A = this chain, B = another copy of it.
Amino acid sequence: MGREEDRTTVGVVGCGYWGPNHIRNMLSLEASGTVHMKAAVDPDPARRLRIRDLYPQIEVSDGVAAVFSDPDVDAVVLSTPTGTHFRLAGEALRAGKHVLVEKPLATSIAHCEELIRLAAEHELVLMVGHTFEYTAAVNTIQGLVAEGALGEVLYVRSLRVNLGLHRRDVNVLWDLAPHDISIIRFVLDAEPTHVTASGNANVTAGIEDIVSLNLHFGEKAMANVIVSWLDPRKVREMTFVGTRKMLVYDDVAAAEKIRIFDKGVDRPSEYDSFGEFPFAYRYGDILSPKLDDYEPLREQSSHFIDCIRLGKRPRSDGESGLAVVRALAAAQISLRNDGRKVALADPAVLDVEGSGAPPFAD
C-alpha cells in the first residue's frame, strides 16, 4: 500500500440508487493503495443511516459543504438528480475537486460548456458517468468496428425498455437515451448530424415515457433508438449492421452478450438495371466472443482515479458529455415539433434548457 498522502481521497454525493455502488467500488480500490473513500453526503437521514451501518469507517454528512470544503478531499462523485448536476459540479470544481458526475452532464449546452471551462481553468478532471463505455461488451464492439471487422456500419438499432420508474425531473429521453447516444458515438467514432424523435407521455402529462429517436450520421449511417419506461420486459439490445458482418449485443443476457453474424449483402460494384437482384447474400457462422468479466462501475471508478493521478483526459470527458447533451437537446426540439428533422448545428439547440420535464416538475 502507498503512503496516506499518496492516496486520492474521495467523497460521494448522493446515496440513492447509484451512490452506494460508487462507495462500494471506491472502497474496493482502497486495497490497491490509491484511494481513500472518506466521505458520503445525502440529505435523507434513512440513506445516511444505511451507509453508516454498512460502512462505519466513512464520514457521513447531510450537505455538500462538509465535503467540498474538506481540504483532504481530492475528488467527488456526484450521483444526484440531473437538475442538480450543473450547480454541484460547478461548486466542486470551483472548490478545486476533480469531478465524476452521473449522466447527463447537465441540462443545457451552455451549462456543459461552463463546466468544461471551469475544469480547464482549474486544471481538474471532469468526467461523465457514461458507464457503458467501460463495459467489456461495448469495448469489444468498439474494437471490432475500429479494426473494420464489421465493415462500414450502416445501421444501429437499440431497444432500451422496461417497466421503469416514472421520473418527474426528466423524461425517458433524458433518462435512458444518454446511454445509447454515448455508446453509439463511442462505437462509431462519429457525431450525429441530425435527429428526429417521436414520443408519448402516457402516465404523467408532459413527461414522455416512450420515445423513438433516430440519429443520422450525415449520409453515412442511421441509428434508431427506442427508450421506454412502459414495457413488460427489460430489454437492452443493440444491433449493429455492417457491410461485412452484423452484431447483436444483448446486455441482459447472462451469457453470449455479443453475437457476430457473418451475414450480409454484397452490393454490386456498379448498378445493373437489367439484372434482377445482383446481390450476393452471405449466411455464415455466428461467433460469440468471450468477454472479460468485471464490474463496469469499478472500471469506470478506476479510470477516474487513473486520470486524476496520471493527468490523463478521461474517455468520457466533458466534451463527450456535451456531445450527448447536444444530441438530447436537438431530439427534445424534434420531440416537441412533430418529429421534424433537427440538425445538431441548428442554433435553436443552444436554447434548449431542461430535461424534458415541465418547469413545475423541477
Name the one of B154, B202, B233, B286 contacting A200, with C-beta atoms under 8 angstroms: B154
Is the CB–CB distance between B226 and A198 below 8 Å? Answer: no
Within 8 A of B (CB), among A242-267: 246-248, 252, 254-256, 259, 261-265, 267
Complex Cα distance A31/B53, Å? 8
Known: A202-B154, A230-B241. A290 touches B279 (CB 8 A): no
Smallest CB–CB gap between A183 and chain B, Å?
18
- Range of interface residues on A (Cβ < 8 Å): 35 or more
Is the CB–CB distance between A56 and B53 below 8 Å? Answer: no
The residue in chain B whose Cβ has the minimal distance to the Cβ of A293 is: B283
Smallest CB–CB gap between A59 and chain B, Å?
14
Within 8 A of B (CB), among A286-306: 286-290
Is the CB–CB distance between B30 and A230 below 8 Å? Answer: no
Asked if A310 is at the interface (CB within 8 A of a chain B CB), the reply is no
Within 8 A of B (CB), among A195-227: 196, 198-200, 202-205, 210, 212, 214, 216, 221-222, 224, 226
- The 4 A-B pairs at the shortest CB distance, nearest first, are namely A232-B261, A338-B341, A232-B246, A286-B288
Known contacts A210-B224, A287-B287; 6 additional CB pairs below 8 A are A56-B56, A203-B265, A232-B263, A234-B255, A256-B286, A285-B289
